[in-house]
Chain A
């Protein structure tokens, strides 16, 4: 069930309060009695009372006065503007349809918070107040004036949901007229029923909030296929004969220092061919490559060819490009170009380096030799379609012109012209 505004104790308390209003007890006393119970939730009580007050038939005239007193006194320790029911009270005070004594009573209540003196009117009982009321003694100010007086500089209304603000009272009168003979007892019953069932919520326009649909199942179901049986592997390398690998490592180490004898060279090549993985642990690193190239170019070619898929091959190429130009390095590159596909960028860079080496060399004799070598190398590359002449045309042409005194350069130039 929904939230009830009042618990049982509060309900009893209110009912007793309302009943006691007809007794000859001063209003002050009744109210003070009511507040001696600190467990009351003031707001809930006041709100319930305000709901009951809205229905003019529900409460007797004395009950109404006591209820108004409670609405006011519950919050009288604060400024009147802080009373959540201030607008309700002001509206009631200005309600032309209401009894005059009631309006006067509310006005007195409102003004009582300013001065202590005027609390006298609470010292009488509710019925006495009504009896003694003199309509001429009271003037009724305009609503605006009251609002100005009691709302003060109220903050704009504190945040609350608009839906709630627009709520309409969820109480409907549905009089069942034909059997309306036993009026009083029915009234009591209705009152206690109301008090028991009042809830904070009023009626509000209702929003329809659709539940989102379930996400469709498409490829989501898991179809199962048997796994491939991946078994644990025995390490075949255990106690394997590493002597041959060691021999090759020794030979490679020697090959870095000087040319190997033909039979040694053959041994290296045979072992490398026998074990395709040997090349990865023959002890060569990119840094050592230049020595190998200079001393044993053929082994270098073989090793590089086998390393072509290695992740390190790029480093080897970088070293090769950057090492000093020589017949051997050129021979290695030339053979590599026919054996494997070299990265275009590498070949290009190598040629550029060749050309600049020729230009920078001081010794005329050595220069001539290098230029002749480069020319033959380039011709070979061009004829084998390793390089596209277009990529390097200007560079190579300039090179030929610079060294046109050399026979091979002229030959290269002619070759370029035929390709043009």
Chain B
């Protein structure tokens, strides 16, 4: 201890100053600076701090406050620089702490070696404590405020994972941190976790906040709770008077302690009569001491709010709003409804705009779009530009869900416009950075463009949003969809327009007796043909991605990889067997290119250790107080995880289907086949995707010269010998769309969303109707039969197919093929002449001209 004191430099300075009567000077300066800071006179504040800096050279806390004050003085213009300065301050803290702590540490460890413990466990303890000592520094080396400020900046810059990496260690060691800072840490952490959609850890922090700050327990009078603690605190403060010397020991367990304390202090020496005294103490204690039931709360260790900037009610409202946000995140809508009502009650007579906004979000989520619009209108003062931008964005969301994509486009672009004007605004506030939601709005824009069939614009949006969403599998799936759509629409270099694609071109050559028809069809232009002949007309702008099928493939592998990572971390219960295939698949395509790859496991493992640590320190979870609350929260979390799992399954189906398709388009049946097969293996796969899986697998097999196996995939839909069933029904579409069971307790919720027409509309038209799918199966079965040489069967199937999908040029081509193979060239000719997709071209005469 002594050595530590003498070596702690700032402390030394301070006490030295004390002797000279200098302490009041620094303390007074500190107070003055703080007052300037609070009244936002930052220039004055910096002046005072600079005086202080002279007196306390190298004191990291002074340096820290200077950095903060200068940042504000300079108009918050350079948050990255502040981060750098704060990082240096932190290093300075650590140097000092190390310089003073090192001696203690080394002394202790050598002491440990010299006097080995009687029990072996001593060494491990030593190790543990020294480990943790290297993480937390307390007292004058306390870096928690500096760390918090760094996290605040990262948060405002939307760098959530960086903020998390700072906040999580702080939260793990929250106890030694003073109340105000601890509260700020918890609130910030909660915001970050909610932004990261991390339900389980949000739940944890929420629970901790409610327990530690004694607010938010509905089942127990909150006021009573805080009041008692204030009173005990008062007792503690005024305890210079009390008759018994150990009253202060009563802070947590008045009853027990008062009984004990009324006894004489025991056992100074082990004399016989003292021992008897102890016996009697214990006996008396034993008889009188029924364990007070409220005692469990001692473990909760409620904190008293010291922060005057947040009043009790404000904090209560704040926590209530967090709770609503948490419930909305976990889609526990029924509870969210109840809690938002509660929030409205608390907010009565105060600013209720946030509560209203959450209520609007609730109604939006429940599919009550009209109500949501109404609430949204009521919630915001649209004079504030930042709020107004969010307001427009939210309206855009609602109109999108109503199927009015063009209206939603108007709102989204309005929201973006406000955002960009906001950034030009001076003076900047730190909040300005976080209020810049343009990337999020841009993502919404991307979805809207995709819905309107504008893949290039959509891709540009998704590419921008990539900066914050790069860890979301869905983003990569959307980018792949953009590529596929662009290629499909012929908007990409080398791709054909849909009409070109389905066109059968017939060159008419010669005249009279010599007239010949030369049929050309389905020559896709993606491959290895000399590219000189192609005209580069599609993409002009340099900065945007060149949408292509190889890019789609890359995106899909990214998505798959991210999905497998999250599967792995979210629930170990997911069968790894089904993943192994894609894992190996994705590795070869991805490992070199993907920077995300390495970051993920670290974060996850940290999260899990953190979680386990919390369970330990919280101890028993079945305390009577707050138990119901905890249970609700836990249920929400597990419910949410269930939803996420299902959602991930759906995403995975989509990814694999797209992957199989893209590989086929890229003439790569060898890779398309495993994608299609693992799609078929997915548990709970939608019938629509099962259909696609079979069709893709069959085609891949056919291309790999395995027509028999290909036929088996299609034969699944055969009933009897020659009849094909509908591969899926209209209801499958409904099921597939309304993934959400919407409300865990409210059965009507699902129905409400189902009858809501918003989901349908454009999307439906982009995919096959069940009858068309059936026609398609006939056509493909005909193709397989033809390849196998069973021309009669092929003829039957293709006839069926043409009756279901008469406009399919592929089916027509197969029919012509079959006719030709059967030697019925006249029938082939007549089919050709009656097909709507045929274009007859006069033979080119260029040769004659040139020769």
Contact of A2 with B657 in the complex, beta carbons under 8 Å: no
Q: Which of A192, A222, A324, A384 contacts B444 (CB 8 A)?
A: A222
Q: Which of A57, A231, A309 contacts B152 (CB 8 A)?
A: A231
Contact of A327 with B278 in the complex, beta carbons under 8 Å: yes
Docked Cα-Cα span, A1 to B518, in Å, equals 13
User: In the complex, how many angstroms separate the beta carbon of A15 from the nearest chain B beta carbon?
Assistant: 7
Is B529's CB within 8 Å of the partner chain A?
yes
Contact of A372 with B507 in the complex, beta carbons under 8 Å: no
Binary contact readout B263-299 vs A (1 if CB under 8 angstroms, 0 otherwise): 0011110100001001100110111011100011011
Contact of A215 with B477 in the complex, beta carbons under 8 Å: yes
Q: Which residues, 374 to 413 on A, are CB-close (under 8 Å) to B?
A: 376-377, 379-380, 383-386, 408
Binary contact readout A345-383 vs B (1 if CB under 8 angstroms, 0 otherwise): 000000000000000000000000100110011011001
Which residue in chain B gives the minimum CB-CB distance to A249?
A: B1
Which residue in chain B gives the minimum CB-CB distance to A234?
A: B37
Contact of A280 with B188 in the complex, beta carbons under 8 Å: no
Binary contact readout A310-340 vs B (1 if CB under 8 angstroms, 0 otherwise): 1111110011001010111001001100111
Contact of A205 with B387 in the complex, beta carbons under 8 Å: no
Residues of the B chain whose Cβ atoms lie less than 8 Å from the Cβ of A12: 847, 850-851
Docked Cα-Cα span, A208 to B401, in Å, equals 32
Contact of B829 with A174 in the complex, beta carbons under 8 Å: yes
Is A154's CB within 8 Å of the partner chain B?
no
Q: Which of B236, B647, B692, B847 contacts A15 (CB 8 A)?
A: B847
Docked Cα-Cα span, A245 to B275, in Å, equals 35
User: In the complex, how many angstroms separate the beta carbon of A356 from the nearest chain B beta carbon?
Assistant: 12
Residues of the B chain whose Cβ atoms lie less than 8 Å from the Cβ of A177: 512-513
Q: A192-B848, A308-B301 are in contact. Are A224 and B390 (CB under 8 A)?
A: yes
Docked Cα-Cα span, A215 to B275, in Å, equals 78
Is B253's CB within 8 Å of the partner chain A?
yes
Q: Which residues, 170 to 216 on B, are CB-close (under 8 Å) to A?
A: 172-173, 175-181, 184, 187-188, 191
Is B562's CB within 8 Å of the partner chain A?
no
Binds B, one of A60-68, A138-146, A158-166: A158-166
Docked Cα-Cα span, A191 to B816, in Å, equals 24
Binary contact readout A214-236 vs B (1 if CB under 8 angstroms, 0 otherwise): 11111111111111111111111
Contact of B518 with A277 in the complex, beta carbons under 8 Å: no
Docked Cα-Cα span, A289 to B204, in Å, equals 31
Binary contact readout B7-36 vs A (1 if CB under 8 angstroms, 0 otherwise): 000010011001000010011011001100
Docked Cα-Cα span, A190 to B514, in Å, equals 6
Residues of the B chain whose Cβ atoms lie less than 8 Å from the Cβ of A249: 1, 5
Chain A interface category by residue count: 35 or more
Is A170's CB within 8 Å of the partner chain B?
yes
Contact of B61 with A239 in the complex, beta carbons under 8 Å: yes
Residues of the B chain whose Cβ atoms lie less than 8 Å from the Cβ of A115: none
Contact of A1 with B505 in the complex, beta carbons under 8 Å: yes
Docked Cα-Cα span, A146 to B18, in Å, equals 116
Contact of B763 with A210 in the complex, beta carbons under 8 Å: no
Contact of B661 with A168 in the complex, beta carbons under 8 Å: no
Most buried by B among A177, A195, A197: A197
Is B434's CB within 8 Å of the partner chain A?
yes
User: In the complex, how many angstroms separate the beta carbon of A233 from the nearest chain B beta carbon?
Assistant: 5
Contact of A338 with B256 in the complex, beta carbons under 8 Å: yes
Residues of the B chain whose Cβ atoms lie less than 8 Å from the Cβ of A92: none
Q: Which of A11, A236, A372 contacts B275 (CB 8 A)?
A: A372
Binary contact readout A165-187 vs B (1 if CB under 8 angstroms, 0 otherwise): 01010111111110111110011
Q: A170-B520, A221-B447, A311-B132 are in contact. Are A246 and B5 (CB under 8 A)?
A: yes
User: In the complex, how many angstroms separate the beta carbon of A355 from the nearest chain B beta carbon?
Assistant: 16
Binary contact readout B752-776 vs A (1 if CB under 8 angstroms, 0 otherwise): 0000000100010011100001001
Is B619's CB within 8 Å of the partner chain A?
yes
Q: Which of B248, B813, B846 contacts A196 (CB 8 A)?
A: B846
Binds A, one of B220-228, B536-544, B736-744: B736-744
Binds A, one of B337-345, B588-596, B818-826: B818-826
Binds A, one of B117-125, B569-577, B624-632: B117-125
Docked Cα-Cα span, A192 to B488, in Å, equals 35
Contact of B763 with A180 in the complex, beta carbons under 8 Å: no
Binds A, one of B578-586, B599-607, B701-709, B717-725: B701-709
Is B787's CB within 8 Å of the partner chain A?
yes
Which residue in chain B gives the minimum CB-CB distance to A245?
A: B139
Docked Cα-Cα span, A204 to B431, in Å, equals 64
Is B688's CB within 8 Å of the partner chain A?
yes
Q: Which residues, 333 to 385 on B, are CB-close (under 8 Å) to A?
A: 354, 357-358, 361, 364-365
Docked Cα-Cα span, A340 to B441, in Å, equals 51
Is A156's CB within 8 Å of the partner chain B?
no
Contact of A210 with B191 in the complex, beta carbons under 8 Å: no
Docked Cα-Cα span, A22 to B187, in Å, equals 96
Docked Cα-Cα span, A136 to B143, in Å, equals 110
Is B161's CB within 8 Å of the partner chain A?
no
Residues of the A chain whose Cβ atoms lie less than 8 Å from the Cβ of B510: 186-187, 189-191, 193-194
Is B325's CB within 8 Å of the partner chain A?
yes
Q: Which of B129, B437, B450, B828 contacts A214 (CB 8 A)?
A: B450
Contact of B387 with A197 in the complex, beta carbons under 8 Å: no
Is A98's CB within 8 Å of the partner chain B?
no
Which residue in chain A gives the minimum CB-CB distance to B789?
A: A166
Residues of the A chain whose Cβ atoms lie less than 8 Å from the Cβ of B517: 171-174
Q: Which residues, 57 to 93 on B, are CB-close (under 8 Å) to A?
A: 59, 61-62, 64-65, 68, 71-72
Q: A168-B817, A384-B285 are in contact. Are A222 and B440 (CB under 8 A)?
A: yes
Binds B, one of A27-35, A104-112, A264-272: A264-272
User: In the complex, how many angstroms separate the beta carbon of B833 from the nearest chain A beta carbon?
Assistant: 9
Is A241's CB within 8 Å of the partner chain B?
yes
Q: Which of A213, A221, A252, A256 contacts B763 (CB 8 A)?
A: A213
Q: Which residues, 94 to 124 on B, are CB-close (under 8 Å) to A?
A: 108, 111-112, 117-119, 121-122
Residues of the B chain whose Cβ atoms lie less than 8 Å from the Cβ of A383: 286-287, 289
Contact of B661 with A310 in the complex, beta carbons under 8 Å: no
Which residue in chain A gives the minimum CB-CB distance to B251?
A: A273
User: In the complex, how many angstroms separate the beta carbon of A406 from the nearest chain B beta carbon?
Assistant: 12
Residues of the A chain whose Cβ atoms lie less than 8 Å from the Cβ of B654: 212, 215
User: In the complex, how many angstroms separate the beta carbon of B758 from the nearest chain A beta carbon?
Assistant: 10
Is A243's CB within 8 Å of the partner chain B?
yes
Contact of B358 with A205 in the complex, beta carbons under 8 Å: no
Is A262's CB within 8 Å of the partner chain B?
yes
Docked Cα-Cα span, A232 to B74, in Å, equals 14
Residues of the B chain whose Cβ atoms lie less than 8 Å from the Cβ of A334: 282, 285
Contact of A339 with B825 in the complex, beta carbons under 8 Å: no
Residues of the B chain whose Cβ atoms lie less than 8 Å from the Cβ of A233: 68, 145, 148-149, 152, 180-181, 184
Q: Which residues, 824 to 851 on B, are CB-close (under 8 Å) to A?
A: 825, 828-829, 832, 843-848, 850-851
Contact of A229 with B129 in the complex, beta carbons under 8 Å: no
Is B140's CB within 8 Å of the partner chain A?
yes
Which residue in chain A gives the minimum CB-CB distance to B328?
A: A223
Contact of A197 with B843 in the complex, beta carbons under 8 Å: yes
Contact of A212 with B249 in the complex, beta carbons under 8 Å: no
Residues of the A chain whose Cβ atoms lie less than 8 Å from the Cβ of B763: 213-214, 216
Contact of A11 with B59 in the complex, beta carbons under 8 Å: no
Contact of B843 with A215 in the complex, beta carbons under 8 Å: no
Residues of the A chain whose Cβ atoms lie less than 8 Å from the Cβ of B133: 285
Which residue in chain A gives the minimum CB-CB distance to B623?
A: A341
Contact of A309 with B301 in the complex, beta carbons under 8 Å: yes
Contact of B278 with A376 in the complex, beta carbons under 8 Å: yes
Contact of A206 with B810 in the complex, beta carbons under 8 Å: yes
Residues of the A chain whose Cβ atoms lie less than 8 Å from the Cβ of B782: 205
Binary contact readout B522-536 vs A (1 if CB under 8 angstroms, 0 otherwise): 110000010000000
Sorted from nearest, which 7 A-B pairs have the closest CB atoms? Answer: A190-B510, A280-B176, A273-B236, A253-B1, A193-B509, A383-B286, A193-B843
| Listed A/B pairs (9) with beta-carbon separation below 8 Å | A214-B766, A216-B739, A224-B394, A234-B38, A239-B59, A253-B1, A276-B303, A298-B249, A308-B299
Sample of 12 more A-B contacts, CB < 8 Å, known A225-B358, A232-B72, A243-B15: A1-B520, A194-B516, A208-B779, A210-B692, A210-B768, A215-B650, A216-B763, A227-B431, A239-B30, A266-B248, A277-B138, A287-B108
